[in-house]
């Protein structure tokens, strides 16, 4: 199997005289041609730079690359590679607006969207479910999203390995979103516990459970086609030492201040780079990303399934890791990728909420004469859109985060108003929409 290496420019093509000229004129050229565009929202590597328009003062694209890399302002992170060399990080300007919007979520709201209590519970449940599904599908869980949502909503037992992956992810997201867990410091034991929840009954080798990897496991990161090696994790002795540093960093025992979003991204990358377990390290990395942001009261991330947008760009996701490792330990590639996907997820969520609210507002206005609560209205809307679905006390309770008695009252009232029928199926009483529910309403 071939170890994958990204194409690097040959800077030896630049003569000593030309380097002297570039050093003296780099800022004039940089500002004249606005070369910042290659290091901001699109943080380009050589494979893209070599196709860009060349400033007239330059002789080749290697000189363009030389100016770009020598004007990028990098800060040292706490991560070290297998050679004990540090990873570095720039802070592109476009991050300022994103970080500002993230900071607004500290005030118990998600950006400028205000939720009522029912909506908050619904969106929280949807986030956990969608993140569990998308994060697993990123690692080739083959169950459809529709079937997976149905399994979680109805608490159906997972049968296949793919279903177990998704259900495990669902349990892990609930685990890290627990107040008791968020109040604790991250330890090696908790890290293993998260991993054990994610991998329960899905590992081919039972010996890989409840432990960190060893050199003898010969773990490597391969491409999706299993033809190339993308990453060889550091050896065991480095892993043990770096895990100590990672825990100190995650528990804010390091010196200085790093914005929580940037820190969460660094933790995400750090877990991937170390690859501390024999399998499913990517999901562990994304789970830790969420854990740190929720721990820092960034509740906006309780509604945003980042893995859903990452799933749509798997190659760019893996490229961001590879560029960060192979381009002189420049972690900015990964930061910019996650920041852009976070920005995209925010935009899509805002659009989704607006569309959903406008649609439901029209329907709710038509249902106002029934004097139902939000949950009952939303359930009727769901049945109008999904006439073949059903619910029961347990599903209704879990979806809205309410007491079982409240769930019973909600459903029985709709049944007594003749909007639902019910049928005993095994140990559950399931409620179904009546025929011609739309006409009746």
Question: What CATH number corresponds to the domain at position 128?
Answer: 1.10.3290.10
Q: How confident is the model at residue 141 (pLDDT cuts 50, 70, 90)?
A: low
Q: What angle do CA 334, 277, 239 make, to 5 degrees?
A: 75
| Rounded Cα–Cα distance for residues 184 and 373 (Å) | 37
Give 161 or 49, the one with higher predicted confidence.
49
Boundaries of domain holding 402:
371-440
Answer whether residue 142 shows pLDDT above 60.
Answer: no
How large a percentage of the chain has pLDDT more than 90?
49
Q: Is residue 149 a part of any domain in this protein?
A: yes
Give 95 or 353, the one with higher predicted confidence.
95
Which range (31-45, 66-80, 411-425) has the least confidence?
Answer: 411-425
Which pLDDT tens digit goes with each residue over 363-397?
Answer: 667 677 778 888 898 888 888 888 888 899 988 98
Q: How many residues does the chain have?
A: 441
Q: Is residue 49 a part of any domain in this protein?
A: yes
Mean pLDDT value of segment 67-75: 95
Determine the pLDDT at residue 107.
45
Determine the pLDDT at residue 251.
96
Mean pLDDT value of segment 233-242: 95
Q: Is residue 355 a part of any domain in this protein?
A: no
Task: Determine contact, residues 280/139, Cβ cutoff 8 Å.
Answer: yes
Q: How confident is the model at residue 263 (pLDDT cuts 50, 70, 90)?
A: very high
For residues 138 and 267, state if they share a domain.
Answer: yes
Answer whether residue 415 shows pLDDT above 50.
Answer: yes
Beta-strand ranges (E) seen in 326-427 are 391-392, 420-425
Answer whether residue 1 shows pLDDT above 60.
Answer: yes
Answer whether residue 165 shows pLDDT above 70.
Answer: yes
Which range (25-29, 82-86, 118-122, 417-421) has the least confidence?
Answer: 118-122
Total tally of structural domains belonging to the chain: 3
The contacts of residue 21 (CB under 8 Å, 6+ apart) are none
Give 22 or 104, the one with higher predicted confidence.
22
For residues 107 and 181, state if they share a domain.
Answer: yes
Give 289 or 399, the one with higher predicted confidence.
289
Q: Is residue 168 a part of any domain in this protein?
A: yes
Sheet containing strand 228-231, edge to edge, reads 2-3, 228-231, 221-222
Q: Is the dihedral of CA 252, 258, 260, 263 positive or negative?
A: negative
| Rounded Cα–Cα distance for residues 229 and 1 (Å) | 7
Q: Is residue 356 a part of any domain in this protein?
A: no
Answer whether residue 360 shows pLDDT above 80.
Answer: no
| Rounded Cα–Cα distance for residues 251 and 185 (Å) | 6
198-234: b (≥16 Cβ within 10 Å) or e:
bbbebbeeeebbeebbeeebebebeeeeeeeebbebb
Answer whether residue 140 shows pLDDT above 70.
Answer: no
Q: Is residue 357 a part of any domain in this protein?
A: no
Q: Is residue 429 a part of any domain in this protein?
A: yes
For residues 338 and 402, state if they share a domain.
Answer: no
Q: How confident is the model at residue 108 (pLDDT cuts 50, 70, 90)?
A: very low
For residues 156 and 274, state if they share a domain.
Answer: yes
Mean pLDDT value of segment 180-192: 91
Q: Is residue 358 a part of any domain in this protein?
A: no
For residues 316 and 422, state if they share a domain.
Answer: no
- Most trustworthy range by pLDDT among 87-91, 100-104, 164-168, 296-300: 87-91
Which range (24-28, 51-55, 422-426) has the least confidence?
Answer: 422-426
For residues 80 and 58, state if they share a domain.
Answer: no
Answer whether residue 106 shows pLDDT above 70.
Answer: no
Task: Determine contact, residues 383/389, Cβ cutoff 8 Å.
Answer: yes
Determine the pLDDT at residue 11.
93
Q: Cα separations (Å) of 396 from 18, 28, 108, 125, 407?
A: 70, 64, 25, 12, 6
For residues 310 and 383, state if they share a domain.
Answer: no
Average pLDDT, the chain: 86
| Rounded Cα–Cα distance for residues 213 and 207 (Å) | 10
Which range (65-74, 349-358, 403-412) has the least confidence?
Answer: 349-358
| Final residue of a structural domain among 20, 50, 72 | 72
For residues 120 and 142, state if they share a domain.
Answer: yes
For residues 89 and 27, state if they share a domain.
Answer: no
| Rounded Cα–Cα distance for residues 294 and 259 (Å) | 13
Residue 25 burial by CB count (10 A; 0-12/13-18/19+): exposed, middle or buried? middle
């Amino acid at each position: 199997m071939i170890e994958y290496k990204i194409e690097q420019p040959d800077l030896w093509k630049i003569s000593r005289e030309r380097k002297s000229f570039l050093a003296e004129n780099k800022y004039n050229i940089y500002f004249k041609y606005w070369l910042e565009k290659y290091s901001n929202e699109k943080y380009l590597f050589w494979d893209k730079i070599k196709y860009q328009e060349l400033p007239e003062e330059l002789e080749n694209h290697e000189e363009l690359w030389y100016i770009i890399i020598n004007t990028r302002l990098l800060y040292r992170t706490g991560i070290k590679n297998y050679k004990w060399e540090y990873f570095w990080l720039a802070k592109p300007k476009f991050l300022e607006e994103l970080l500002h919007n993230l900071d607004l979520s500290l005030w118990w709201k998600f950006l400028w969207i205000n939720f009522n209590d029912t909506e908050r519970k619904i969106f929280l449940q949807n986030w956990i479910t969608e993140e569990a599904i998308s994060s697993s599908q990123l690692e080739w869980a083959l169950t459809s999203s529709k079937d997976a949502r149905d399994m979680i909503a109805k608490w159906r037992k997972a049968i296949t390995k793919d279903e177990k992956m998704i259900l495990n992810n669902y349990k892990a997201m609930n685990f890290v979103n627990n107040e008791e867990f968020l109040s604790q410091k991250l330890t090696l034991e908790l890290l293993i516990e998260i991993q054990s929840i994610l991998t329960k009954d899905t590992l081919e080798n039972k010996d890989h459970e409840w432990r960190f990897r060893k050199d003898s496991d010969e773990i490597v990161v391969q491409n999706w086609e299993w033809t190339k090696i993308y990453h060889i994790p550091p050896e065991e002795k480095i892993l043990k030492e770096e895990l100590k540093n990672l825990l100190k960093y995650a528990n804010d025992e390091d010196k200085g201040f790093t914005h929580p979003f940037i820190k969460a991204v660094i933790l995400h990358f750090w877990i991937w780079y170390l690859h501390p377990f024999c399998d499913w390290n990517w999901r562990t990395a994304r789970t830790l990303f969420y854990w740190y942001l929720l721990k820092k009261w960034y509740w906006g991330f309780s509604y945003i399934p980042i893995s859903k947008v990452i799933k749509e760009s798997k190659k760019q996701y893996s490229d961001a890791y590879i560029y960060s490792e192979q381009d002189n330990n420049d972690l900015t590639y990964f930061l910019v990728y996650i920041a852009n996907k976070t920005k995209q997820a925010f935009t899509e969520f805002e659009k989704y909420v607006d569309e959903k609210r406008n649609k439901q507002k029209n329907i709710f206005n038509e249902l106002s004469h029934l004097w139902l609560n939000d949950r009952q209205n939303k359930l009727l809307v769901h049945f109008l859109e999904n006439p073949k679905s059903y619910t029961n006390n347990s599903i209704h309770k879990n979806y809205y985060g309410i007491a079982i008695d409240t769930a019973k009252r909600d459903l029985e009232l709709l049944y007594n108003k003749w909007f639902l029928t019910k049928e005993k199926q095994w140990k559950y009483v399931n409620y179904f929409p009546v025929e011609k529910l739309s006409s009746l309403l």
